[in-house]
Chains A and B, each alone.
Chain A
Amino acid sequence: MDSSAARRQVVLPGDVIEARGLKPGEGTFVEGGIVYAAQLGIRSEQDGFVDVIPLAGRYIPRADDEVVGQVVDLGPSHWLVDINSPYPAPLHATESPWRVEFGETSHFMDVGDSLLAKVLGVDETKRVQITMQDQGLRRLTGGQIVQISHSKVPRVIGKGGSMISMITSYTKTQAFVGQNGRIWLDGDVKDTVHAVRAIRMIEEHAQSMGLTEAVKAYLEGVYGPKEG
Chain B
Amino acid sequence: MEDIEHIEKEIQLVDANGRRLDGRALDELRPIKIEAGVLRRADGSAHVQWGGNRVLAAVYGPREAHPRHLQNPVRALVQCRYNMAPFSVSDRKRPGPDRRSVEISKVTSEAFQAVVFTEQFPRTSIDVFIEVLQAEAGTRCAGITAAAVALADAGIPMRDLVVACASGKIAGQIALDLNKEEDNFGDADCPMAVVPRTGEVVLLQMDGHLTDDEFDRAMKLSMGAAQTIYEMQKDALRRRYAVTAMDVGPEPAGVSA
Q: List the interface of chain A (C-beta within 8 A of B).
A: 1, 4-5, 8, 10, 12-14, 27, 29, 31, 36, 38-42, 44, 46, 53-58, 60, 64-67, 86-88, 116, 118, 125-126, 136, 151, 153-155, 157-161, 164-165, 168-169, 174-179, 206-212
Contact = CB atoms under 8 A, between A and B. Distances in A.
A86 B121 contact: yes
B124 interface: yes
B217 to A, nearest CB: 27
Nearest to A46: B250
B248 A13 contact: no
Given A57-B156, A66-B254, A179-B253, A155 B248 contact: yes
Given A5-B244, A206-B246, 19 more contacts: A8-B248, A12-B238, A29-B159, A38-B158, A40-B155, A44-B249, A53-B250, A56-B44, A57-B43, A125-B122, A155-B248, A157-B252, A164-B255, A169-B257, A176-B254, A177-B256, A179-B254, A207-B241, A211-B246
Contacts of A65: 253-254
Contacts of B124: 86-87
Contacts of A36: 159-160, 197
Nearest to A173: B257
Interface in B100-124: 117, 121-124
B73 interface: yes
Contact of B257 (A14, A86, A161): A161
B155 A88 contact: no
Contacts of B141: none
B256 A136 contact: yes
12 contacts: A8-B248, A14-B161, A29-B117, A36-B197, A53-B250, A57-B43, A64-B253, A86-B124, A87-B124, A159-B251, A161-B257, A175-B257
Query: DSSP class of B's interface residues: helix, strand, loop or mixed?
Result: loop
Contacts of A42: 243, 248
Interface stretch (B15-23, B58-66, B132-140): B58-66
B33 to A, nearest CB: 18
Contacts of B74: 125
Contact of A177 (B244, B248, B254): B254
A48 to B, nearest CB: 15
Contacts of A136: 256
Contacts of B196: 14
A109 to B, nearest CB: 19
Contacts of A126: 121-123
A174 B74 CA distance: 41
A144 to B, nearest CB: 15
B242 interface: yes
B234 A12 contact: yes
Interface pairs A-B: 7 shortest CB-CB: A57-B155, A66-B254, A14-B160, A56-B155, A38-B157, A209-B245, A13-B158
Interface residues of B, number: 46
A63 to B, nearest CB: 10
A164 B63 contact: no
A41 B121 CA distance: 18
Contact of B153 (A27, A29, A56, A58): A56
Given A58-B62, A87-B64, A179-B254, A159 B247 contact: yes
A10 B242 contact: yes
In this complex, the member of A13, A60, A176 whose beta carbon has the largest number of chain B beta carbons within 10 angstroms is A13
Given A39-B157, A175-B256, A86 B63 contact: yes
B179 to A, nearest CB: 29
B253 to A, nearest CB: 5
A155 B249 CA distance: 9
B237 interface: yes
A36 B157 CA distance: 11
A207 to B, nearest CB: 5
B200 to A, nearest CB: 12
Contact of B63 (A13, A58, A66, A153): A58
Contacts of B159: 13-14, 29, 31, 36, 38
Nearest to A88: B64
Contacts of B156: 39, 57
Nearest to B247: A4
